[in-house]
């Protein structure tokens, strides 16, 4: 799922024989020594009404709906800073432990994971080897399907999913059944893919951003369609509904030094050597991105 950035020793980026999606991905990736062209990146913080109209974006309060791909919705600042810290803290402390599953199960059980854990009272306590966690139905990454094994989806994640669905009124019966929590370091990226393993391909996917901003690209049902690139900030809610639910999407870039609320509201006096306190979580989000995406796996059972 994740890829690490490779240095290109300042060689020009080669775009020959790339499909439009791959070309866009490559355009936004971080390459040491090369400057990225962000001129086509859609940053809703900086667009005026005329620019939005030209790009087929319709604004209603904090909600932005896109003509292309149809079904893409972005809600700016959906989660306030308290929500961001509270939920990120749960992701870092609770949702990485049994019965939930993480990527670490693919490594040898006797591997010394302590060497990957950041133990720094001035920063945070976290195992940087953890790249994703899965709650709810446990997705089989190798065979790309959902077995029957599942855990309970924690109430805080159900709550923000239901809050998002109620706010946008996209679906009468929505239940968050499988949740992927991604932990990105500043030079990570996620290649373009489809979320096509769920039997329910009609219900929306709700995606919540925490920490560093990112470049999110989404195009069409094949990689032959050129995608758009959208800047996602901490607290944003990105929705893939309707046609967009079946479109290729990915995260080619995490934007370093992009999480900077006006001031750090969590004093260092809150330090706790055993858990990631609010102070630790704030520092972690200043150097990482957490993404929570929720979806239904099975079509909702509607009473007749």
For residue 175, what are its two tokens?
């239940």
* Mean of pLDDT values over 224-240: 98
* Mean of pLDDT values over 204-230: 98
Determine, yes or no, domain membership for 302.
no
**Residues 248, 223: contact at Cβ < 8 Å?**
yes
Determine, yes or no, domain membership for 112.
yes
Give 185-216 pLDDT, tens digit per residue.
Answer: 999 999 999 999 998 999 999 999 999 999 99
Give 255-275 pLDDT, tens digit per residue.
Answer: 999 998 877 888 887 777 778
Residue carrying structure tokens 């989000």: 285
CA–CA separation, 54 and 154 (whole Å)? 41
What are the E-state strand segments in the chain? 2-4, 57-60, 63-66, 72-75, 101-102, 117-119, 125-127, 132-136, 178-185, 188-193, 205-211, 213-218, 228-232, 237-240, 249-255, 288-295
- Comparing 275 with 278, which gets the higher pLDDT? 278
User: What is the per-residue pLDDT for 104?
Assistant: 85
Domains contained in the chain, number: 1
Phi first, then psi: give them for residue 140, nearest 5 degrees.
-90, 100
User: What is the per-residue pLDDT for 5?
Assistant: 52
Annotation-wise, does 145 bind a ligand? no
* pLDDT over threshold 50, residue 303: no
Determine, yes or no, domain membership for 75.
yes
Determine, yes or no, domain membership for 303.
no
* pLDDT over threshold 50, residue 86: yes
* Mean of pLDDT values over 4-32: 79
Residue 175's domain comprises 6-295
Give 109-167 pLDDT, tens digit per residue.
Answer: 555 666 678 888 888 989 999 999 999 998 887 787 888 888 999 999 999 999 999 99
Determine, yes or no, domain membership for 301.
no
Q: Distance between alpha carbon 26 and the CA centroid of its chain, in Å?
A: 19
Determine, yes or no, domain membership for 49.
yes
**Residues 169, 136: contact at Cβ < 8 Å?**
no
- Within 8 A by CB and 6+ apart from 166, the residues are none
Annotation-wise, does 249 bind a ligand? yes
Percent pLDDT > 90 in the chain is: 69
Consecutive H or E run containing 279:
helix 278-285
244 band by pLDDT with thresholds 50, 70 and 90: very high
Determine, yes or no, domain membership for 35.
yes
Please report, for the domain that includes residue 98, its CATH number: 2.60.120.590
Q: How far is CA 178 from CA 81, 134, 150, in A?
A: 25, 7, 8
Phi first, then psi: give them for residue 51, nearest 5 degrees.
-65, -40
228 band by pLDDT with thresholds 50, 70 and 90: very high
* pLDDT over threshold 70, residue 302: no
For residue 41, what are its two tokens?
């990146």
For residue 249, what are its two tokens?
């999407």
Determine, yes or no, domain membership for 144.
yes
User: What is the per-residue pLDDT for 134?
Assistant: 94
- Within 8 A by CB and 6+ apart from 164, the residues are 75, 78, 206, 208, 237, 239
**Mean pLDDT over all residues of the chain?**
90
Annotation-wise, does 195 bind a ligand? yes
Q: Which of 99-108, 196-205, 241-250 is most confident? A: 241-250
DSSP reduced 3-state for 285: helix
DSSP 153: P
């Amino acid at each position: 799922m994740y890829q690490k950035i490779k240095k290109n020793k300042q060689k020009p980026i080669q775009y020959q024989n790339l499909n439009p999606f791959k070309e866009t991905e490559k355009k936004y990736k971080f390459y040491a020594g090369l400057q990225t062209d962000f001129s086509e990146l859609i940053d809703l913080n900086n667009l005026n009404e005329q620019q939005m109209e030209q790009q087929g974006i319709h604004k209603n309060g904090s909600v932005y709906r896109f003509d292309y791909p149809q079904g893409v919705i972005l809600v700016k600042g959906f989660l306030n800073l308290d929500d961001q810290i509270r939920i990120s803290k749960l992701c870092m402390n609770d949702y990485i432990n049994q019965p939930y599953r993480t990527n670490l199960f693919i490594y040898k059980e006797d591997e010394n994971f302590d060497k990957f854990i950041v133990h720094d009272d001035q920063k945070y306590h976290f195992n940087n080897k953890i790249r994703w966690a899965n709650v709810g139905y446990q997705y089989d990454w190798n065979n790309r399907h959902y077995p029957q094994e599942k855990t309970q989806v924690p109430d805080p994640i159900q709550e923000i999913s239901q809050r998002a669905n109620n706010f946008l009124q996209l679906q009468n019966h929505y239940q968050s059944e499988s949740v992927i929590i991604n932990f990105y370091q500043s030079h990570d990226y996620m290649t373009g893919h489809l979320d096509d393993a769920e039997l329910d391909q009609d219900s929306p996917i709700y995606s919540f951003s925490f920490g560093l901003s990112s470049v999110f690209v989404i195009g069409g049902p094949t990689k032959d369609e050129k995608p758009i690139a959208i800047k996602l900030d901490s607290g944003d809610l990105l929705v893939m509904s309707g046609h967009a639910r079946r479109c290729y999407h990915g995260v080619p870039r995490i934007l370093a030094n992009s999480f900077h609320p006006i001031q750090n509201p969590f004093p260092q006096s809150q330090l706790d050597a055993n858990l990631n306190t609010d102070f630790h979580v704030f520092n972690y989000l200043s150097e990482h991105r957490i993404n929570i995406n929720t979806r239904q796996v099975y079509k909702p059972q509607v009473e007749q």
